[in-house]
């Protein structure tokens, strides 16, 4: 199944951020929250030994979020899931997970 446009950051993020400071700040808070939760999950994985990273959990979480956000946009543009496949491969490399 292809991206169905349900992620507001993907579908409206750039447009809304340029038009409304209030909405830009709301999107910023929301994405910061997602990145924070992802960083916590990475820290938990490091603690239980299921993954490892180079650098900080927060920096890796931010990079992964940006990777998947970009992949989501590219899925919409190309109408193919190939960007998700590449994003998953890169995610596994970042987290030092086996294929």
Tens-digit pLDDT string for the chain (99 aa):
455 556 666 766 777 778 888 988 988 999 999 999 999 999 999 999 999 999 999 999 999 999 999 999 899 899 999 999 999 999 999 999 986
Q: What is the pLDDT of residue 1?
A: 45
CB-based contact 67:90 (threshold 8 Å)? yes
Domain range annotation of the chain: 8-94
What is the SS3 assignment for 55?
coil
Write the DSSP symbol of residue 6: -
Write the DSSP symbol of residue 95: T
Count of residues making up the chain: 99
Q: What is the pLDDT of residue 24?
A: 86
Q: What is the pTM of this model?
A: 0.86
Q: What is the pLDDT of residue 89?
A: 97
**What's the CATH architecture for 8-94?**
Orthogonal Bundle (1.10)
Q: What is the pLDDT of residue 53?
A: 97
CA distance 63 to 76: 20
């Amino acid at each position: 199944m292809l991206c169905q446009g349900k992620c507001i950051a993907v579908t409206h993020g750039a447009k809304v951020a340029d038009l409304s400071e209030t909405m830009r700040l709301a999107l910023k808070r929301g994405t910061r929250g997602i990145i924070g939760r992802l960083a916590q999950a990475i820290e938990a994985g490091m603690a239980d030994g299921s993954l490892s990273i180079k650098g900080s959990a927060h920096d890796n979480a931010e990079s992964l979020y940006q990777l998947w956000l970009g992949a989501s946009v590219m899925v919409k543009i190309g109408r193919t899931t190939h960007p998700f496949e590449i994003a998953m491969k890169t995610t596994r490399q970042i987290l030092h997970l086996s294929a």
